[in-house]
Structure 1
Amino acid sequence: MQAADYQQLQHDISLPRLSSYQHFFQPDEPKALYGYYCWNEAISSAFFRLIGIVEITLRNKIHRALSQHYHNGQSNGSKLSNDWYNFLDLNAHSEKKILTVTHRFKKGKWHPKQPALSHDDVISRMTYGFWPKVLDIRQDKQGCAVPWGKIIPNVIPHHRQKSEGYWKKIKHQDILYARLELIGSLRNRIAHFEPIWKQGDLFEENRERQNKKPKLIRPAPSNAAEAMERLILLHSRAQELLGWLSRTQLKSYQHSYIYRQLNWLLSQDGMNIYIRQHSQKQLSPTAFKRQFTSIIRQQHTVSIVKNSKISGVFYPSTS
């Protein structure tokens, strides 16, 4: 593209929106400024795929664990999927979220939907923010305490801590809550089209309560290297949470194209491709095989082209 094209792109995106990129990265030309913007968009897209996997796995694990616990004596549903949410003392906001899915508001009253939604349909319509708040439920509607010490190990069966005694303690539940909120905050930033590299201070994974504040671990990133370091940390923590929930899901993710792409994007080589607006090297399958040793040595990113179409992309290892 010509210089005028990059000027027009800045105008279309809007200078106020790009001002944070200009201030933080301080690029010396419009092409590089637009490159940082595209780099952010690519990272956000890849991260959102991972967060989607975490969200689906998390809600299903919580739903299954609570259905299993409230199957006997309280809920008439299946042990694998029932209406546990109707038996817990949800806060008003969460209660309304459930109600707006299961009922219709007509003539000043709530009426159950007919036909009724399945329990799986109900929980699938809860947004990510609903799930961390579930950990705040202290009792059911009969006044009995929710035994989180027994339930949490079924939600995150692959966490290193598996005992009821560990998870019944609020301070340990708070650490898990902080991890869920970290991923939720990242999800919201992407969903609202905010720069994903723009992160605040990093605190220990804990929850602010009366007379207790999480300790500051490191200040907000102040340059591109620190921003990339923080994103790598977030990627690691999202994977760790997914592994706690399901080793199979984590394994599947780490064998995916998205995993390889995100690792590449969070490397200097990946960033430079966008900043400099360089095209990836394109080779035919035959040429790729012939030059493979050189490509590995020089850590090139290569698009493999067959019949004028990209059939695959090779990303060098970033480990």
Structure 2
Amino acid sequence: MQASDYQQLQHDISLPRLSSYQHFFKPNKPADLYGYYCWNEAISAAFFRLIGIVEVTLRNKLHRALSTHCHNPQSKGIQFSNDWYNFLDLNTHSEKKILSVTHRRKNGNWHPKLPAVSHDDVISRMTYGFWPKVFDIQKDKQGNLLPWGTIIPTIIPHHRQKSAGYWKKIKHQDSLYARLEIVGSLRNRIAHFEPIWKQGGLFEETRIRQNKIPKLLAAAPSNDIESRDRLTLLHQRIQELLGWLSQTRLKSYQQSYTYHQLSWLLSKEGMDTYIRQHSQNQLNPSTFKRNFASILKQQKTVTILKNGHISGVFYPTK
């Protein structure tokens, strides 16, 4: 691209949005500034795919566990998929989210939709923010305490701790909640097109309570190395959460293109490729094939041109 193109891109993206990139990375050229912006877009997209896997797995695990808990053997209900949300003491906000799916509001009153929305459809329409709050439910609508000590191990069956005695303790529930909130916070940043490399202080995984303030473990990243290290830590923690939920889903993710792409993007080589994207090597297929060993050794990013058109881009991985 020409210099004028980068000037136009700055206006299209907006200087206020790019200012945080300028102050943090301190690029020397508009092309480099745009490269950092594109790098953030790439890691955001890759993280969002992983978060989507976690979200779907989490809600299905919770739905199955709570359906099983609320199942009445004397009824004709389905054990693994029922309307458990109608039997538990949800907070007002969560209850309204359920009602907005199962009912229509008319003249200030809620009226059930006909035909009724299936349990699975209700669950699929809840956003990520709904699910961590489910762990705050203490009782059912008859006032019986919810036995999280026995329910949580069925939601995260691959966690190293499996006993009811461990999970009935609030401090351990708080630790799980904090891990879920890490994912939710990152999801929100991506959804609002905020720079996800911009992270605050790293705190211990717990919740703020009257007698508990999370300890600060590390200051906010102050350079690109610290930023990539923090994002790598988040990548590891989200994978660990996915593994607690399902080892099969974790294995599938770690064998996927997205996993290898994100791991590479979080490396210095991956970031540098985006900063230098305006000067990528361009080769025709035969030259690329002939020089593949050298390209691989030097960890080069190469654009493959066929008849003057881009037919592919080779991105090295670690």
TM-score normalised according to structure 1 size: 0.94
Identity %: 74
Q: Which amino acid aligns with 1:66?
A: L
- Aligned-pair distance for 1:315? 2.3
**Which has the higher mean CA deviation after the structures are superposed, 13-22 or 175-184?**
13-22
Partner Cα distance (1:4, 1:193) in 2: 25
Q: Is the 8 A contact 1:300 1:316 kept in 2?
A: no
AA partner of residue 118 (structure 2)? S
CA deviations on 1:179-209 (whole Å, 9 max, x unpaired) are 0000000000000111111111100111111
Alignment of 1:150-161 (within 5 A): 150-161=150-161
The answer (yes or no) to whether the contact 1:76–1:82 under 8 Å persists in 2 is: no
Amino acid of the residue matched to residue 291 of structure 2? Q
The reply to whether residue 48 of structure 1 matches residue 62 of structure 2 is no
Distance 1:6 1:302, change over 3 A: closer
Equivalent residue number for residue 165 of structure 1: 165
Superposed CA RMSD in Å reads: 1.9
Q: CA deviation at 1:211?
A: 1.7
The secondary structure found in structure 2 opposite 1:41 is: helix
Deviation at 1:12, TM superposition (A): 1.2
Instruction: Return 5+ residue gaps in structure 1 as ranges.
Output: none
Three-state SS of the structure 2 residue aligned to 1:210 is: coil
Distance 1:289 1:79 in 2: 56
Q: How many residues align?
A: 317
How far apart are the structure 1 equivalents of 2:67 and 2:279?
51
| Structure 1 range deviating more: 292-301 or 217-226 | 292-301
C-alpha change, 1:78 and 1:301, in structure 2 (3 Å) is same
In the alignment, structure 1 residue 310 sits paired with structure 2 residue 311: yes
Partner of 2:258: 258
In structure 2, what is the Cα distance between the partners aligned to 1:287 and 1:150?
Answer: 61
Distance in structure 1 (CA, Å) of the matches to 2:5 and 2:315 = 29
Q: Match of 1:199, SS? A: coil
Secondary structure at the counterpart of residue 115 of structure 2: coil
Whole-Å separation in 2 of the counterparts to 1:283 and 1:249: 37
User: Are the equivalent residues in 1 in contact too, given 2:273–2:301 (CA < 8 A)?
Assistant: no
Residue 107 of structure 1 is matched in structure 2 by: 107
Q: Which amino acid aligns with 1:68?
A: T
- Call closer, same or farther: CA 1:300–1:52 in 2, change over 3 Å: same
Tell me which residue corresponds to 1:133. Answer: 133
Q: Is the 8 A contact 1:77 1:83 kept in 2?
A: no
SS at match of 1:111: strand
Q: Is the 8 A contact 2:46 2:261 kept in 1?
A: yes
Runs of 4+ in 1 over 6 A off after TM superposition: none
In the alignment, is the contact (CA less than 8 A) between 1:55 and 1:128 conserved in 2? Answer: yes
Question: Which amino acid is 2:316 matched to?
Answer: Y
1:96 aligns to 2:96 (yes or no): yes
Q: Deviations over 1:210-234 (max 9, x none)?
A: 1211110001111111111111111
1:75–1:236 CA distance, 2 compared to 1 (3 A): farther
The 5-angstrom pairing of residues 57-136 of structure 1 reads: 57-72=57-72, 77-136=77-136
Pick closer, same or farther for the CA change 1:256–1:279 going to 2, 3 Å.
farther
Would you say the 8 A contact 2:303–2:310 is kept in 1? no
CA–CA distance in structure 1, aligned partners of residues 127 and 145 of structure 2: 25
Q: 1:306 to 1:119 in 2, by over 3 A?
A: farther
Decide whether aligned partners of structure 1 residues 280 and 261 sit closer, same or farther in structure 2, where only a CA change above 3 A counts: farther
The Cα shift of 1:290 comes to 4.0
2:205 is the alignment partner of 1:205 = yes
Counterpart-to-counterpart distance in 2, 1:285 and 1:176: 49
Question: Relative to 1, partners in 2 of residues 1:24 and 1:87: Cα closer, same or farther, differing over 3 Å?
Answer: same
The answer to whether the 8 A contact 1:301-1:316 is kept is: no
SS at match of 2:10: helix
> Residues 207-246 of structure 1: matches in 2 within 5 Å?
207-246=207-246
Structure 2 Cα separation of the partners of residues 11 and 75 of structure 1: 62
Aligned counterpart, 1:15? 15
Cα 1:276/1:314, change in 2 over 3 Å: closer
Greater shift after overlay, 308-317 or 231-240? 308-317
Per the normalisation by structure 2, the TM-score is 0.94
Structure 2 unaligned segments of length 5 or more: list them.
none
